[in-house]
Amino acid sequence: MRRFLPGFLWILALGLLFHGAAAAAASGLPTIGGKKAVAVVNGEPISLEEFERVLASLHEGAGEKPAGGRRDYSDLLRRLIDGKLVLQEARNIGLDTLPEVRETVKMFEQQTLRQTLLYRQVKNVRPDGREVEKVYRDSIREFKVRSYLFAREEDAKRAEEEIRSGAGFDNVMKRMVTEGKAEGREEGVYMKGKDLLPEIAGAVSILSEGGVSPALKVPAGRKGEAAYTILMLEGIRYPENPEAREQARREVLKEARLAAINKYVETLKKKYVKVRKDTLDGLDYEAKEPGIEKLMADQRVVAEILGEKPIRVEDLSRVLQQKFYHGVQQVTTPKKVNKQVPEVLNEMVTTRVLVKEALRKKIDKTPEYKQKVKEFEDEVLFGMFVQKAINPDIKVDEAVVRKYYDDHAGEFLVPESVRGEDLAFAGREDAVDALEKLRNGADFKWVKENAPGQVGEKSRQRVFPADGAYSSVHDLPGGGAEAVAGAGSGEFRLYTSPEGQFLVLHILERVPAKPFPFDAVKGKIQERIFREEQQKSVEEWAEKLRAVSEIKIFATDREMEKIFGPAGGAAGKP
């Protein structure tokens, strides 16, 4: 239902609650229900805390600057009042009692109870420093590998035997290359473990520096045939990478929290749950008898939960029925349903015990929980009001859409696109040398096959897709858009990637921006007009409600500036 929220009422979305010096500066505001109030709408106060939370979410969520560089406190308060009026009207006409609203809110309540309980269990969990270091070093480790490729297994095996017999790796490989039996380079290249073929990564991982692998079969042969490689590990390095270290910390922390949650859930299940294994093992959802219909009325207990209603066969069957799109009786894969039974029951049990424990710990009595539920219920209720009272009266015909398209043609353009090819080099000098050759008329394919210092395919960065497809100029990675700015078809450019590689770019073709066909954007325009009319209708509803409501405003702009600072300043700063 959240999708029905109109844009201007973002104020009803969940915001971050922060505490500043605002309360201390609000001495001029009345206290209602134990909280400072900025306004009262038909006897229902809008607290300073609520206003502060909305102001914080505006500042936090969008980072936006109001028109003219100023934030209008009066306008923000007006929007809060409008939202309150609409919510009151929604309750007056009974939308809050609709089953779909109550069910949605109930699901959120239980979800929030579970999440809050689990957060309490993991908030003090810290990642193991040694494990972080291990994951980090594994992620940044680079191998300097020199490899040679053989088309025939017998040649690779012969080279392997010679090296084992004491012949030097370099001597054997030079001779194999000279005889046309192997291909390779005399200089090794550093590569991350994840960029290596699995066969090569496995071999490298057990080699020490200077070690040579046996002949390895790899899927890189000519004409689809297998090829063989022998490689030497020349070195290992661990280049410092703060981003990778932080990623490793997050991964280890995530695993530690997951382990803590699993352990906690198992403890709760032992404390509260007894599974009737005989009943569970006797269920067969794939047999013709008794059939799903009878099982959905079966009152036998499959799991007892201390102090709570048990989970019966009918409950388990209903969830299983919902899990399969066409129903259990339509599933034809053997054992597919029965395999799901333990997992589904475990999910049901886990949900129940987490809610039970959260209620035992009185999480539902905490102000934070109540605030979250209230905000969510308001959001759902507002969405339901828009869905029921606003949307049915909004009509957008094609003539209106066509006029909007004509009046806003500059907003619906196929972006400028480009097609090209590129080469990636580890060093700037090699890239500049290749660029000069290309600008002097060298064939691109020839340079690609012969220019030294190029980065391997698995490790290289790209600006243009490898298949030569067109890309939007604005979608080019890194600073690609700036690199090709002003370049015409056939031009070459030098580009340095964020990862430090040097790319020679060949712009094959540029296609200027052009208008989208009307049919391609008609739906998008209809939606835009619909939202604009939706917002306008909500504002009109609020205006009508204002005329018949009792509204008292205590917070003037001067009062708000005393609390939050001059309009247009940072939200929440006194």
Spatial distance between the Cα atoms of 382 and 89, rounded to a whole number of angstroms: 10
Q: In this structure, are residues 330 and 285 in contact, taking their beta carbons and an 8 Å threshold? A: no
371-403 b/e (C-beta count within 10 Å ≥ 16 → b): ebbebbbbbbbbbbbbeebbeeeeebeeeebee
List alpha helices for 123-218, DSSP H: 129-140, 153-164, 169-178, 198-205
pLDDT recorded at residue 286: 85
Q: What is the pLDDT of residues 476-488, one digit of tens each?
A: 987 888 889 888 8
Q: What is the pLDDT of residues 353-385, one digit of tens each?
A: 999 999 999 999 999 999 999 999 999 999 999
Q: What is the pLDDT of residues 500-516, one digit of tens each?
A: 899 999 999 998 889 99
The Cβ of residue 461 has, within 10 Å, a number of other Cβ atoms equal to 19
pLDDT recorded at residue 326: 58
Mean pLDDT of the chain: 87
Question: Range with the lowest mean pLDDT among 96-105, 229-238, 343-352, 561-570?
Answer: 561-570
152-189 b/e (C-beta count within 10 Å ≥ 16 → b): eeebbebbbebbeeeeebeebbeebeeeebbebeeebb
**What does the CA dihedral 556, 558, 559, 565 come to, rounded to 10 degrees?**
130
423 three-class SS: strand
pLDDT of 387 above 60: yes
Q: In this structure, are residues 536 and 389 in contact, taking their beta carbons and an 8 Å threshold? A: no
Spatial distance between the Cα atoms of 21 and 154, rounded to a whole number of angstroms: 80
Share of residues in the chain with pLDDT > 70 (%): 89
Strands (E), 327-454: 413-414, 417-425
Spatial distance between the Cα atoms of 535 and 390, rounded to a whole number of angstroms: 9
pLDDT band, residue 255 (cuts 50/70/90): very high
pLDDT recorded at residue 27: 61
Tokens representing 271?
Answer: 């404390």
pLDDT recorded at residue 65: 45
Q: In this structure, are residues 113 and 369 in contact, taking their beta carbons and an 8 Å threshold? A: yes
Bridge partner residues of 272 (DSSP): none
pLDDT of 265 above 80: yes
pLDDT band, residue 219 (cuts 50/70/90): confident
Cα separation values, 113 from 107, 253, 271, 378, Å = 10, 23, 19, 18
For residues 526-544, give the mean pLDDT: 95
For residues 250-270, give the mean pLDDT: 96
Q: Give the length of the chain.
A: 574
pLDDT recorded at residue 53: 85
pLDDT of 9 above 60: no
Closest CA to 524 of 395, 383, 405, 403: 405
pLDDT of 221 above 60: no
pLDDT of 196 above 80: yes
- Beta strands 502-511 and 492-496, pairing class: antiparallel
Name all domains of the chain by residue range, CATH numbers in brackets.
15-138+247-367+539-574 (no CATH), 142-237 (3.10.50.40), 413-515 (3.10.50.40)
Q: What is the pLDDT of residues 199-209, one digit of tens each?
A: 888 899 899 99
Query: What are the percentages of helix, strand and coil residues in the chain, rounded to 5?
Result: 55, 15, 30
pLDDT recorded at residue 112: 97
Burial class (CB in 10 A: 0-12, 13-18, 19+), 113: buried
Q: Which residue has the tokens 């969520």?
A: 61
Q: How far apart are the first and last CA of the chain?
A: 36
For residues 76-92, give the mean pLDDT: 95
pLDDT band, residue 224 (cuts 50/70/90): low
Q: What is the pLDDT of residues 36-61, one digit of tens each?
A: 999 999 999 999 988 988 888 776 55
pLDDT of 26 above 60: no
AA letter at 138 = D
CA contacts within 13 A on the Cβ side of 398: 3
pLDDT of 184 above 70: yes
Q: What is the pLDDT of residues 104-130, one digit of tens each?
A: 999 999 999 999 999 999 999 999 999
Tokens representing 216?
Answer: 């390895």
Q: What is the pLDDT of residues 281-337, one digit of tens each?
A: 999 988 888 888 899 999 999 999 999 999 999 999 999 888 874 555 555 455 678
pLDDT of 545 above 70: yes
Q: What is the pLDDT of residues 142-169, one digit of tens each?
A: 999 998 999 899 999 999 999 999 999 9
Give the containing element (helix H, strand E) for 404: helix 398-407
For residues 222-232, give the mean pLDDT: 76
Cα separation values, 561 from 23, 60, 111, Å = 13, 19, 39
pLDDT of 348 above 90: yes
